Amino acid sequence: MARGNWRYGAIWAWTLTVVIFLYLPAVCLLLASLTESRYFIFPISRWGLDWWGKTFASLEIRALFETSILIAGCVTVVAVTIAFFGALAFARYDWKGRALYQRIVLLPIFFPQSVLGLALLLWFSALGVDLSWKSAIFAHLVWIVPVVTLVISIQVYSFDPALEEAAFDLGANRWQVFREVTLPVLFPGIFSGALFAFLLSWGNFPLSLYTTGADTTIPEYLYAKMVAGYTPGVPVLGTVSTASAAILLLGGYALIVARRRRRAASED
């Protein structure tokens, strides 16, 4: 399509503008964290890393990291396990209740999370469950299992069932087929699903707010500090949580690309 080069240019320019718009707050957080003073006044007169030092020395903050990572880790393991089978039912097998099942899986995603958090609070209280990081894991899963099911499903759609049939015909048993054919072929989807699970749990606020009880995650702590008044500790932690999400995601993506290249090379 040679007839629209200026259009391509306009689309590029617009997209880059949107990207800047998306990352502007992160840049502001970073700038605000690099000051020596107690208050935020721009342009910054005295640059420094004082608040980074103070934040990382704090034991309270370390405990927050542990809670957040613990929750996100457990959520990842459980979500990927359940969602793997869920995705096969979603995209691989043609069965009677499938259309209905697909819609049920989507419902929790299309649902306001603050209301979902409150609903879970009521449910836990009706059951007499004590709120802690464990109930938060359950709450995160309600939203994350459907998301991961979708992410893995997209990979499953491109999976050719004939590969499994061929392995069966060659005399492999069910476990062998699963381990040697299904799992490696679906691996990129499972891996992205795991990344999504971890990161969505890591950044979640509305579900944690009502279901963690006395335990606190990083987004909850940040919210409490924001409401209480300004401290440069908030930009520091905000920058850390943004940067760690970016590094995990970019690293994961690099791994997938490297794996694809290696496979392509070994097939040549």
Partner 1 sequence: MTPAPDRTRRKLSLGAWHALPVIVFLLLGFVAPLLAVIGYSVMPERTFGIWQPPTLENYVTVFTGTSYISFLWSLSLAAATVAILAVICYPVALGLARVFGRWSSALTLVFTIPLFVSENVRMYGWILFLIKNGVLLGTLKSLFGIEMDSWLFTRGVIVFGMVYVYLPFMLFPMTLGVSMVPRETRDAAFDLGATRWQVFREIDLPLSMPGVVIGFLLSFVLAVGAIAEFKVLGGQQVIPITHDIEIAFTYAQNWPLGAALSVLLMLVVGTLVLLVLRRFDLDAILGRR
Q: How far is the CB of 254 from partner 1 (least distance, A)?
A: 10
Tell me: does residue 129 bind partner 1 (CB under 8 A).
Answer: no
Stretch that binds partner 1, among 46-54, 56-64, 182-190, 241-249 (CB under 8 A): 241-249
Binding flag, residue 255, partner 1 (CB under 8 A): no
Query: From the CB of 98, what's the least distance to partner 1, in Å?
Result: 6
**11 near partner 1, rule: CB under 8 A:** yes
The smaller minimum CB distance to partner 1, of residues 56 and 93, is found at: 93
CA angle 141, 145, 149 (to 5 degrees): 175
- Residue 37: phi and psi, rounded to 5, are -85, 165
Site for partner 1 in 25-44 (CB under 8 A): 25-29, 31-32, 40-43
16: number of Cβ within 10 Å: 10
Interface residues for partner 1 in 67-96 (CB under 8 A)? Answer: 81-83, 85-86, 88-96
Count residues binding partner 1 (CB under 8 A): 100
125 near partner 1 (CB under 8 A)? yes
What number of other Cβ atoms are within 10 A of residue 117's Cβ? 21
Q: Does 185 bind partner 1 (CB under 8 A)?
A: no
Query: In this chain, which stretch among 47-55, 58-66, 109-117, 175-183 interacts with partner 1, using CB under 8 A?
Result: 109-117
Structure tokens at 204: 């979640």
Question: At closest approach, how far in Å is the CB of 184 from partner 1?
Answer: 18
Q: Under the criterion CB under 8 A, does residue 141 sit at the interface with partner 1? A: yes
Site for partner 1 in 200-239 (CB under 8 A): 200, 202-206, 218-219, 222-223, 226, 234-235, 238
Sign of dihedral through CA atoms 61, 66, 71, 75?
A: positive
- Phi, psi for 35 (deg, rounded to 5): -120, 155
- On whether the CB atoms of residues 232 and 221 are closer than 8 A, the answer is no
47 class by beta-carbon count within 10 Å (0-12 exposed, 13-18 middle, 19+ buried): exposed
Distances 176 to 82, 84, 168 between C-alpha atoms, Å? 20, 17, 9
